[in-house]
Chain A
Amino acid sequence: MGDFAQGFQMVANISTLLWCAFGTVLGIILGALPGLTATMGIALVIPISYSISNTATGIGLLISVYCGAVCGASIPAILLGIPGNPNAIATVTDGQLMTKKGLAGQALGGAVIASMIGGLGSEILLVFFSPLIAKATLAFGPAEKTTLALVGLVIIASVSGKDILKGLLMGALGFVFAFLGTDPISGACRMPFANALKKTVLAGGFDMTSTLIGLYGVSQVFAELANLSKPQNTDVATNIGKVFPPFKKVLSMWQIILASLGIGTIIGAIPGTGASIAVFMAHDSASKICDASNGKLDKPGTGCLEGVFAPEVANNAVTGGALIPALSLGIPGDSATAVLIGALMINGVTPGFQLFSTNMPLVYSIFITLFIANVFMGVFQLAGIRLYPKVLLISQRILMPIVLILSFIGSYALAGASIPKGVFNVGTALFMGLVGYSMKKNGYPLAPVVLGFILGGMFEENFRKAVKLGAGTMERFVTSPICWVFTLLAVVIVVSSVLKNRKEAKANNA
């Protein structure tokens, strides 16, 4: 307990609170602007944290930016349909549908509450089960990650809608988009005309976030053009509606919350996975839970709170999850925590198990600032919540050019200092926007492309590494119990969704 008191003393001062508040607000702004990511935000404030004499305060600032940025990304996703960064990718569908129904306030409020639950819940797991979870994630080698990607990929079957062939084709298209670029093992340039292109920015392949911004944000502008000539109707948006989701409703979603919390924390803790996978898995598990609830819960994907809650709990749970291996093993769980570890080292702290044995007060102070950051994140984002939906009062005719330019500049900004890469990212966003538009127009689902794109690379890379580790054999898959469990799970998901589709088809025919 003495350690805790000491840790508490390190952060129990006004300046820590002020820096955390500043970091959270900055994080929310960063998250809400497309193209500015948590990773970039942390990198930006490193010089500031370095100049703060109290190490615990400096770390608090970094963690606040991290939490704020993940939460803030839900704002443009819900209101404008632009996923500002990959964390919000699964929030877009239900968030946009809720906005169209006039429930923007509740979607935004729900997202904040969900983010707080996710952030604080994963912190509890971090505080009490950190060594255990860290050990468990070490069991994830290439073979286990291959099967994990497989579980993610079979979600394609359940998000494909009526036409399963089209869904699978779009999944394959996502794979191909992911393949263009650098070969994940040999590092060679793998694309048509490789010799001519390998010294250009194209050699790096499509940037993931620009692709997402294009597929969702830019394609929406093109799709909306047909509606612009109709008389503009702003009635829906003027009524912001209730901001807080009914308490009963939140309680009724306890299964979804727990499932998403678990998925987010675990996936976040496995190095080299990331929030974009976690949010899709959480969204899918939420629909499974709804199916089993006999109509008590609304089905995600139809524009309901459940569909916003699941990914938002998951993406903030990833923040706590990613800190688990970072603090207890010294291995970053995602790119944002990689920067965080670098910043800790600059501040003179070496993360890893020694930290727990030698500098427990500092560990406690990190936990406390994480708690403060999560609370501030909720408070500050809720404070402005009646303000954000005012954006919807603007006529679509004026909003669409702004959405377009925000999508472009967001993609551009992802390249940071590199102008050629920035221009290539804008090109990617435009190209993907046209792809997305053609898909919508012809009745092809969007989500499988995104899943294929995110998981395709991970699947191929880890599969090849697992086989190479086994010197050309599948031995690694056979000997790992985790692989068996995941493969079985994948089979169960496919069979159950095929059966469900059949049942629905029969019901429709009858």
Chain B
Amino acid sequence: MKRALIIMLVALVATTTVFAQGLEETSASFPDPERTITIIVPQGAGGGTDTFARTLAAKMTEISGQNFIVENITGNSTGTGTNEVIKSEPDGYKMLMYGTYTIVGTSVGATDGASGLDFISGLTLEPFVIGVKADSQWTTLQELIDYAKANPGQVTIGNAGATGTTAVVACGLNVACGNCFNVIPANGGAELQAWVMGGHCQVGIFSQTEIVSGIKPLAFLGETRSLNENLGDVPTIVEAGYGDLTIPYGCFRGLAVPKGTPDEAKNWLADTVKKAFYSDEFQSFMAKKGYLQTFSTLADTDAYNAQLMADLQPALKAAGLVKK
């Protein structure tokens, strides 16, 4: 009996080693067809960043035949998801949907941010929109700011979260207007929509897709008019007469992998992203939703991000988001 068992064990171990070698051999070159490439979105499912990532992932899967999926790892000012990528194996199978929010997360000390990452590509810049309730008394940004200055502390302005990009915008706007607003963080864009539509909070900083029929857009925070089909007639902040306000006007998004990922993987990924990004379907998706294109790859994205981080510093200070 015992002998039979021992023989079986030996046989099993032997076959296992042979198979294991076979398996490891097949996974030598990047990418291994059976492995899934995960894009970590450090924000909640259903939001603008998530929708963008999922559309891109679907296109990348279609183009490369490799399976790309999106995972949402939320929490700790996007630090949890970012740290997850930074600490993961640098093999190219895990990417981060990097964004302006990552810079904020780095600033508050929730993550090491860009210093632990290598960039694959820069993708888009999505300008925000200042919106109020549809039947609100204000019809232009000027009216709103004049009213707020005349009644300091009376006008409430909401953002999608204390450590999100919209918070930086809201706080920047508040400082630029001489501290006349009451700034309040909501728990995500959806809650902010409900607050503004329900009249609980008077002004909100929204992303373009969050402007629904109950919300009246006052100003578009881009340099030129929005490409979004519904927002084409919203005046830009320059047209509204506040071109000199130095506030960040949008959320940058890009893809990054952990530092130390081999060049082979990075190049393959950058190439795939490029193909997906310039596909007709994805281009029309971005045009419809009004995403501005800021495509760059690898080292170029590094430079872009460094500039962005430097530009954001004053606004981050105003928002109280710089680690002491």
Given contact pairs A331-B193, A471-B182, a sample of 4 additional A-B residue pairs in the complex whose CB atoms are under 8 Å apart: A141-B199, A203-B79, A204-B74, A469-B156
Q: How many A-B residue pairs have CB under 8 A?
A: 162
Instruction: Count residues of A near B (Cβ-Cβ below 8 Å).
Output: 60
Taking a contact as CB atoms closer than 8 A, the residue among B45, B84, B111 that contacts A339 in the complex is: B45
A338-370 residues with Cβ-Cβ distance < 8 A to B are 338-343, 345-346, 350, 352-354
Taking a contact as CB atoms closer than 8 A, the residue among B80, B153, B193 that contacts A471 in the complex is: B153
Taking a contact as CB atoms closer than 8 A, the residue among A43, A50, A469 that contacts B184 in the complex is: A469
Which residues of A lie under 8 Å from residue B186 when comparing CB positions? 465
Q: How large is the interface on B (under 10, 10 to 19, 20 to 34, 35 or more residues)?
A: 35 or more
Taking a contact as CB atoms closer than 8 A, the residue among A138, A204, A329 that contacts B75 in the complex is: A204
CB distance B71 to A416 under 8 Å?
Answer: yes
Taking a contact as CB atoms closer than 8 A, the residue among A50, A181, A332 that contacts B46 in the complex is: A332
Taking a contact as CB atoms closer than 8 A, the residue among A140, A181, A187, A201 that contacts B163 in the complex is: A187
Q: Is A189 located at the chain interface by the 8 A CB criterion?
A: yes
Please tell me which stretch of B50-58, B168-176, B261-269, B301-309 contacts chain A, meaning at least 4 of its Cβ atoms lie within 8 angstroms of it. B50-58
CB distance A420 to B77 under 8 Å?
Answer: no
A61 smallest CB distance to B (angstroms): 15
**Contact indicator per residue, chain B 77-109, by CB within 8 Å of chain A (1) or not (0):** 101110110010000001000000000000011
Which residues of B lie under 8 Å from residue A476 when comparing CB positions? 200
- Give the one of B45, B69, B199 with max A CB within 10 A: B45
A182 and B108 alpha carbons, distance in the complex (Å): 13
A181-218 residues with Cβ-Cβ distance < 8 A to B are 181-182, 184-189, 198-201, 203-205
**Contact indicator per residue, chain A 366-388, by CB within 8 Å of chain B (1) or not (0):** 00000000000000000000000
A420 smallest CB distance to B (angstroms): 7
CB distance B187 to A272 under 8 Å?
Answer: yes
Q: Is B9 located at the chain interface by the 8 A CB criterion?
A: no
A298 and B314 alpha carbons, distance in the complex (Å): 64
Q: Is A468 located at the chain interface by the 8 A CB criterion?
A: yes
Which residues of B lie under 8 Å from residue A346 when comparing CB positions? 51, 54-55, 58
B201 smallest CB distance to A (angstroms): 7
**Contact indicator per residue, chain A 118-144, by CB within 8 Å of chain B (1) or not (0):** 000000000000000000011111110
A19 and B24 alpha carbons, distance in the complex (Å): 37
Nearest-neighbor residue (CB-CB) of B289 within chain A? A345
Instruction: Given A417-B94, A421-B80, decide whether A39 and B45 contact each other with a Cβ distance below 8 A.
Output: yes
CB distance A141 to B195 under 8 Å?
Answer: yes
Question: What are 24 A-B pairs with beta-carbon distances under 8 A?
Answer: A138-B197, A182-B77, A185-B185, A186-B162, A187-B161, A199-B111, A199-B112, A201-B80, A203-B76, A271-B191, A272-B194, A329-B212, A330-B212, A332-B46, A345-B289, A352-B212, A353-B214, A416-B73, A417-B40, A417-B73, A418-B71, A461-B187, A469-B200, A471-B182
B275-315 residues with Cβ-Cβ distance < 8 A to A are 289
CB distance A47 to B58 under 8 Å?
Answer: yes
